[in-house]
Amino acid sequence: MKNLPRFFTFASPSRFYRAAGWAIPWIYAVAVLVSLAGLYLGFFVAPVDATQGNSYRIIFIHVPAAWMSMVLYLVMAFWAAIGWAFNARLASMVARSLAPTGAAFTFLALWTGAFWGKPTWGAWWVWDARLTSELILLFLYLGYMALVEAIDDTRRADQAGALLAVIGAVNVPIIYFSVRWWNTLHQGATISMTAAPKMANTMLLSMLLMTIAFWAYAFAVVFMRTRALVLERERDNEWVRALGVNNGSVA
Amino acid sequence: MNWNSASEFFAMGGYGLYVWGAYGVTAAWMLAEPWLVRRRHARALRDVMERDESYE
Amino acid sequence: MTPMAALLARDLRLASRRPAEALLPVVFFVVAASLFPLGVGPEEATLRQIAPGIVWVCALLSSLLSLGTMYAGDYSDGSLEQMLISRMSSVELAVAKCLAHWLMSGVPLIVVSPLLGLLFGLSWESIGMMAFGLLLGTPVLSMMGSMGAALTLGLRNSSVLILLIVLPLCVPVLIFGAGAVSAAEVGLSPSGHFYLLGAMLLLTSVGAPVATAAALRISV
């Protein structure tokens, strides 16, 4: 049974604080290096697209941002639920830290999508199924953040947020399906974002690398925010006060 | 290599505004967000230190 | 009388003592929907086309806006706490409250919707489709809304917060409810839409009261 306690060792805020503090610079380094590789492939190796010219290169950040926005929502709901079910403070803190980054990725997916759509299909915004679902996902994030910020009692806020996040996660497939139905029904504008260029291997590889880079970035930023949140919430604990004495450096 | 010169790279075959508009905002955010979180962390640390002083 | 029926009767009786307040959602419904032609122009074909969407969005807004009071009154005078520790399960409490809310705001909307249909120049068939869709959809809105009301109990900006939380979740109901009428107008069969609305009603009936009960336990 020796392995069991070690599995949960990082559920302790103080251990997490130290371990994450050590890891964050390395994670950033990974993010930077992988994105450099991905961008190099995307801009200097991948060829020009026959129909879309060079504007298609936006997908190297549009698709990873969209994927991250969806993944982070699920991860957020997961940790929030864990925090609620097991009374695990740190899990709830991680969930709260994920929200702004997830919302930002959603916004970036919409923004880059618009900048891709304009030269390709002539419109900054099209109400196609995926963009519309992404917009609703942004609303779900904003709703979560608004709810947790509005409740002063930390425990109630964490639990309410967890319930909302789980309800949202369950509803996302339903929402996506209904939006797709709605989109095919009103197929007046025959614009489809699924008409991405046929992907050469270099394009796919570049997108994959950028996804990894975004993922690493998300880890780093979320860990950073969680550490700040740990300090804010665990202020009265011995180990945090010891930090203060040591001028912020970890003993 | 796809580009014959730096100016060609920035022009992106006429799509420069869109490509750099998209990449620019993304890059700007990915610099701003860590900076903002760092500030939050520093503020929290400062609060902890001030609190500790008041316990003297 | 079962506790649930007693609670339902009590809520309805309380509402009947303040008829003006009870009618507010309906009045808002009519007023809001009537603003659209003023903004869009009186052209018949346009109005007929956008009518289902407008009526549904206004129905959404008016049922959600009246949610702030669902639990707030009982919460502030302590009776909600008493109800939660009583023999009645919190799920039953949620069901009774949702039913009361639907009877007070959903049903009047359904009854008034043909009037709006006429204002927008819809055919009688379309009006029937719209009313039937509202019949299936407004309970879902009440139930989704009760989750939001329970989560935001006692908070300052709860009305707006409820809207922000619940509106994205109500998008499917909006899509299929309005879509049914649009489909009928074009000559397609709306039955698929109604089946899906029915499915959502069933799903929500199973899930929402449980979620609301959990939310009440979190908030109180």
Spatial CA neighbour of A218 closest among A40, A113, A36, A75: A75
User: CA C42, CA A209: separation in Å to the nearest integer?
Assistant: 54
CB-CB contact of A178 with C171 (8 Å):
yes
Averaged pLDDT for residues A140-164: 95
Per-residue pLDDT for A244 more than 80?
no
Q: Quick check: is B24 in a domain? A: yes
CB-CB contact of C185 with C165 (8 Å):
no
Residue with tokens 């089946």: C195
| A41 part of contact set with chain B, CB < 8 Å | no
Candidates B1, B19, B37; nearest CB to A58: B19
Q: Give the tokens for residue B29.
A: 């955010």
> Looking at residue A197, what is its pLDDT?
54
Averaged pLDDT for residues C138-160: 92
Averaged pLDDT for residues C171-197: 91
Instruction: Choose the most confident range, by mean pLDDT, from C14-23, C167-176, C186-195.
Output: C167-176
> Looking at residue A190, what is its pLDDT?
44
> Looking at residue A234, what is its pLDDT?
87
The neighbouring-strand residues paired with A53 are A49
Averaged pLDDT for residues C47-56: 93
Q: Quick check: is B30 in a domain? A: yes
Cβ distance of B30 and A217 shorter than 8 Å:
yes
* Residue-range definition of the domain harbouring residue B39: 6-53
Q: Give the distance from residue C124's alpha carbon to the nearest chain A alpha carbon, in angstroms.
A: 23
Cβ distance of A160 and C218 shorter than 8 Å:
yes
Total domains present in chain B: 1
User: CA A175, CA A173: separation in Å to the nearest integer?
Assistant: 5
Per-residue pLDDT for C155 more than 80?
yes
User: CA A96, CA B37: separation in Å to the nearest integer?
Assistant: 13
Share of chain C above pLDDT 70, in %: 100
> Looking at residue A206, what is its pLDDT?
92
Candidates C165, C172, C179; nearest CB to A143: C165
Spatial CA neighbour of B52 closest among A249, A15, A237: A237
Tens-place pLDDT, residues A42-79: 888 888 877 778 888 899 999 999 999 999 999 999 99
Q: Which residues 6+ apart lie within 8 Å of C136 measured at CB? A: C177, C194, C197, C198, C200, C201
Which amino acid makes up residue C68? Answer: G
Cβ distance of C219 and A160 shorter than 8 Å:
yes
Residues A112-151 as b/e (b if ≥16 CB within 10 A, e otherwise) read bbbbbbbbbbeeeebebbbbbbbbbbbbbbbbbbbbbebb
Q: Give the distance from residue A222's alpha carbon to the nearest chain C alpha carbon, in angstroms.
A: 23
For residue B35, count other CB atoms closer than 10 A to its CB: 9
Q: Quick check: is A1 in a domain? A: no
pLDDT beneath 50, residues of chain B? none
Q: Give the tokens for residue A163.
A: 């319930």
Tens-place pLDDT, residues A178-235: 888 888 766 544 444 455 556 678 888 999 999 999 999 999 999 999 999 999 998 8
Tens-place pLDDT, residues A12-49: 888 899 999 999 999 999 999 999 999 998 888 888 87
User: CA A94, CA C200: separation in Å to the nearest integer?
Assistant: 32
Total domains present in chain A: 1
Per-residue pLDDT for A246 more than 90?
no
Confidence of residue A251 (pLDDT cuts 50, 70, 90): very low
Averaged pLDDT for residues C94-113: 93
* Residue-range definition of the domain harbouring residue A211: 59-232
- The answer to whether chain A touches chain B by having 3 or more C-beta pairs less than 8 angstroms apart is yes
User: CA B25, CA B5: separation in Å to the nearest integer?
Assistant: 24
Per-residue pLDDT for A166 more than 80?
yes
Please, which chains are in contact with C (at least 3 CB pairs closer than 8 A)? A
> Looking at residue A186, what is its pLDDT?
66
Q: Identify from A92, A127, A151 which residue to disrupt to test chain C contact, counting C C-beta atoms within 10 A and taking the largest count.
A: A151
Q: Which residues 6+ apart lie within 8 Å of C115 measured at CB? A: C30
> Looking at residue C135, what is its pLDDT?
96
Per-residue pLDDT for A5 more than 70?
no
| C105 DSSP 8-state letter | I
User: CA A236, CA C167: separation in Å to the nearest integer?
Assistant: 39
Cβ distance of C161 and A167 shorter than 8 Å:
no
Chain A positions touching C213 (Cβ under 8 A) are none
Shortest CA distance from A166: residue in chain C: C211
In a 3-state reduction of DSSP, which class is residue A16?
A: helix
Chain A positions touching B45 (Cβ under 8 A) are 231, 243-244, 248
Predicted model pTM: 0.90
Cβ distance of A119 and B3 shorter than 8 Å:
no
Alpha helix ranges (H) inside A128-249: 129-150, 154-185, 201-233, 238-245
Share of chain B above pLDDT 70, in %: 88
The neighbouring-strand residues paired with A49 are A53
Candidates A58, A101, A245; nearest CB to B52: A245
Shortest CA distance from A151: residue in chain C: C155
Supply angle C-alpha C178, C179, C181, rounded to 5.
70
Domain residue extents for chain C? 3-219
Confidence of residue A4 (pLDDT cuts 50, 70, 90): low
Residue with tokens 């549904």: C56
Which value does ipTM take for this structure? 0.89
CB-CB contact of C154 with C74 (8 Å):
no
